[in-house]
Chains A and B, each alone.
Chain A
């Protein structure tokens, strides 16, 4: 089933003599959204993507069976995925001194990695240095939206006004009421599946058809009600009913490849930036796209200090170019955007563009993860196998800590993602001892009888957690790389202990037999939710951009990705990134019309 063909290159249309209304750097969730919103206002936009354009339909082959693939979905010899052990005992750059031809981040250690080996970057080309960090990057049109986990959650005033609530850090310069209309727009334009729960700390979206729960999950939901906790069907950034206004995307057919593979949806029911945002934006006639274009400096007018365009390197030829624009919108991802700003040094902006506060790269935060629990659902042992994995996600347990009460050991909270039931590959084949018919029968009888969940918790934004430019190390194109100075703190460690305790408590209460409680915290970066390196604020001395993601220092510069988030919350950030970008780009278009830039 092929719903679209990505035939629009647009490279030939790029006119670098022309001054575009806006140049957008990065084509993921944030950059795609900027392109969509600005072109919808009639602006002429040039979108620069550092990576290639890949026909993901040809890559992903979601319904291919393992035995139809020469290596059952594994990568060819010479490709290596970094392990937790390597991230722990070695220091970045992790691909240094390796014998492998290609080195990938840990996500390529999952099943079906061969289908995403061209999506996730080769670490050899993209080194970084400093403290241990599992940095997952996807350089291609659409970025990480091509393989994201799809959990699409809203933030609430428990997050935007967290300082007011518990005294730590900074409040955001916006409230829920400012962003709520834009969450609605994102819901309606891109589609989201879920069920209403009326939780003040996890606001509902405008949901399409919800995912159903597997047997054990329905039981856990009932059991949690007694503890005043809420298990809800996975809120997936997936259109389950279809989108009449988007011809590039199909509705979800529950084929289930989303959890068998690193990710990716080749019928584009799961949101990805190319089909959700960029192709429709190109249909307006206002968007020009240039891929393989690595932005390395925001150029400034030396008289006014304003941005005049973006210098970039062609990834294939190594030639350098400059794209001119009235407005520059940075959306290269939290860490790459900080890198680009720090690289953009000039007489007027000696510490990097938009960095008079010295906060670019700082207040770096994310989600801590690792602690998880696995249980056995005894009722299911030996029962005929049901179809439990034909869906884009299973369940989410909303935050319950530090809402109305105050935990003695830590502030903020965490939520759980989990799953249960049968899957294509029996996860217990490796952990079941023995051999012979009894082994085979045990694997069969129990393979669908497990449930597990793991937590994602807020890492506090701290000035001392930061990235800067490495003075010596450069990437394949000669561009200085990021150096990490980033560690989890005491609050996170105490929170992680509580994650394991409450997970065990909830499973026990639900009547599951506890098979394992894992307390190990995974390496920094593992959640792929990095945030905060160019935070919003009303004070230009302690923040980088204002509430409309507009630089305090450079009026015609916006930074619209996760780098602008003031705190990490414990909710997955993609939906918030897009709602904020939409709001800021609406504001930008208004400001341009009023002649304020």
Chain B
């Protein structure tokens, strides 16, 4: 059945569609993807360093950028939250928030992360070692499904917005998830009902 399943991926497509996709998968697309990734990363760096954030302070922004990248990091499969400019999107949405509540949650949450970092490691989060950063995140993500402490509640919010922003980004959809839809198909893809 696993083989059948694999076939279903391509058998339903007309040839032109398949060719176009294969092309993207095999070569031309890779080059394009690299370019886009390069540009995105550059733009992210620019927005962090040159463009003033809309809601966060520069320091807060740098912290958010790092936290989101730790949640969804670049790996051998695809670029991460930083390249997908997740911090920039979170910053924009918070800046226009109708409610004060999320703004407060983020401001206070970032302060809590810094406090905790001082407590645990005697230095700020960004000055900590990669291992120290991960152990802090591990601590605040303990009760993710039923958060109680303020820092746990903040982690849930941080992760939720990070995932939302990442998986709706071009990198998230195309490169990470390899999503194939949202295209014009001549035939439906899948199995006949027999």
Contacts and interface: CB of A to CB of B under 8 A. Distances in A.
Interface in B59-81: 70-73, 75, 77, 80
Contacts of B137: 435
Interface string B1-12: 110111011001
A391 interface: yes
A210 B193 contact: yes
B173 A65 contact: yes
Contacts of B75: 437, 440-441
Contact of A388 (B96, B167, B184, B189): B189
B73 A67 contact: no
Interface residues of A, number: 61
B191 to A, nearest CB: 4
B2 A379 contact: yes
A385 B178 contact: yes
B71 A435 contact: yes
Interface stretch (B26-34, B41-49, B106-114, B157-165): B157-165
B182 A63 contact: yes
Contacts of A72: 89, 164-165, 168
Contacts of A221: 193
Contact of B189 (A387, A423, A425): A387
Nearest to A432: B163
Prevailing SS type, chain B contact patch: loop
B190 to A, nearest CB: 3
Contacts, number: 167
B169 interface: yes
B71 A233 contact: no
A430 interface: yes
Interface stretch (A160-168, A211-219, A406-414, A561-569): A211-219
B98 A436 contact: no
A232 interface: yes
Interface in A387-425: 387-391, 422-425
A439 B70 CA distance: 11
A390 B180 CA distance: 9
A588 B145 CA distance: 60
A595 interface: no
A198 B185 CA distance: 29
Given A385-B177, A424-B181, A426-B167, A390 B188 contact: yes
A422 B8 contact: no
A12 interface: no
Given A65-B173, A426-B177, A433-B144, A383 B188 contact: no
A388 B177 contact: no
Nearest to A422: B179
Contacts of B6: 383-384
B90 to A, nearest CB: 11
A219 B141 CA distance: 37
Given A384-B6, A440-B176, A447-B177, A213 B190 contact: yes
Contacts of B186: 253
A437 B93 CA distance: 26
Interface residues of B, number: 55
B97 interface: yes
Q: Tell me the dominant secondary structure on chain A's binding face.
A: loop
B52 interface: no
Given A254-B188, A389-B181, A430-B160, A213 B176 contact: no
A233 B182 contact: no
Interface in A61-90: 63, 65-67, 71-73, 76-78
Interface string B125-151: 000000000100100010011000000
Contact of B184 (A232, A253, A425): A253
Given A255-B182, A429-B163, A433-B144, A65 B170 contact: yes
B82 to A, nearest CB: 13
Contact of B145 (A211, A217, A433): A433
Contact of B170 (A67, A78, A380, A441): A67
A443 B162 CA distance: 13
A38 to B, nearest CB: 36
A383 B2 contact: yes
Given A425-B167, A435-B137, A444 B190 contact: no
A233 B96 CA distance: 43
B72 A440 contact: yes
A426 B166 CA distance: 11
Interface of A: 63, 65-67, 71-73, 76-78, 100, 195, 209-215, 217-219, 221, 231-233, 240, 253-257, 379-380, 383-391, 422-426, 429-430, 433-437, 439-441, 443-444, 447
Given A213-B190, A387-B181, A430-B160, 7 more contacts: A209-B188, A219-B1, A231-B193, A256-B181, A436-B73, A436-B134, A440-B72
25 contacts: A67-B173, A72-B165, A78-B98, A195-B193, A211-B188, A213-B191, A213-B193, A214-B190, A215-B4, A253-B184, A255-B182, A255-B185, A383-B5, A384-B6, A385-B177, A386-B190, A387-B180, A387-B189, A388-B190, A390-B183, A390-B189, A429-B163, A429-B167, A435-B141, A443-B163
